[in-house]
């Protein structure tokens, strides 16, 4: 008897990862590997690491530990909400706590874009509402997808925050 496997369409997703506590590089490397092991998720590409000063609600905080950031392009058969839940599990396993808005963290994983969709629910906003203003998202995204576009805003390389001078490239082995 032949077993039939139902094919599931995989949609593109762009994820941003950041860490400013603990062994930042190791945490991001482990998180990228964990994302790739999620059922229904395939990591297609991962950017290099960039480093930036911590961004808080009041602006840049040079007293806080600096962030390492990366961007992952993936394909997934999960719904946006299922992906959000799975990424939250990875954050939790790496000691993420949510006590302070934009507080220091061991790991933050955001869904930047999902299949060209606009989503605005209580749990999820896609495209990420502040992605267009964040060099630590746009610069690494352009490293892996030079023609990237944000829904409603157009090409990422034309956005002011896409200036590579706004981040410091972090010398490290490739994430994949």
Q: Is residue 137 within 8 Å of residue 69, measured between CB atoms?
A: yes
Residue-wise pLDDT for 88-142, tens only, equals 999 999 987 766 666 788 999 999 999 999 999 999 999 999 999 999 999 999 9
Sequence length of the chain is 176
Give the pLDDT confidence of 24-45 residue by residue, as tens digits: 999 999 999 999 999 999 999 9
Instruction: Report in angstroms the alpha-carbon separations of 68 from 21, 23, 25, 107, 166.
Output: 10, 10, 7, 10, 13
Nearest to 135 by CA among 52, 21, 15: 52
Q: How many CB atoms lie within 10 A of CB 173?
A: 9
**Domains of the chain, earliest start first:** 11-169 (3.30.70.560)
> Does the predicted model carry a pTM greater than 0.75?
yes
In tens, the pLDDT along 51-98 reads 999 988 788 888 899 999 999 999 999 999 999 999 999 999 998 776
The confidence score (pLDDT) of residue 104 equals 86
User: H/E/C letters for each residue in the chain?
Assistant: CCCCCCCCCCEEEEEEEEECCCCHHHHHHHHHHHHHHCCCEEEEEECCCEEECEEECCEEECCCCCEEEEEEEEEECCCHHHHHHHHHHHHHHCCCCCCCCCCCCCCEEEEEEECCCCEECCCCEECCCCHHHCHHHHHHHHHHCCCCEECCCEEHHHCHHHCHHHCEECCCCCCC
- Return the number of other C-beta atoms located less than 10 Å from residue 53's C-beta: 17
Catalytic residue numbers?
A: 96, 105, 108, 110
């Amino acid at each position: 008897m032949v077993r039939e496997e139902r094919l599931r369409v995989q949609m593109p997703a762009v994820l941003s990862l950041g860490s400013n506590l603990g062994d930042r590089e190791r945490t991001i490397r482990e998180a990228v590997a964990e994302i790739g092991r999620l059922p229904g998720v395939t990591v297609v590409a991962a950017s290099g690491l960039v480093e930036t000063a911590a961004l808080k609600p009041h602006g840049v905080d040079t007293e806080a530990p600096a962030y390492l950031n990366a961007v992952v392009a993936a394909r997934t058969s999960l719904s946006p909400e299922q992906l959000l839940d799975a990424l939250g599990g990875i954050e939790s396993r790496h000691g993420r706590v949510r006590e302070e808005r934009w507080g220091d963290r061991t790991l933050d994983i955001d869904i930047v874009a999902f299949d060209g969709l606009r989503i605005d629910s209580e749990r999820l906003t896609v495209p990420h509402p502040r992605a267009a203003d964040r060099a630590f998202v746009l610069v690494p995204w352009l490293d892996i997808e030079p023609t990237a576009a944000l829904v409603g805003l157009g090409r990422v390389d034309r956005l002011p925050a896409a200036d590579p001078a706004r981040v410091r490239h972090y010398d490290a082995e490739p994430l994949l």
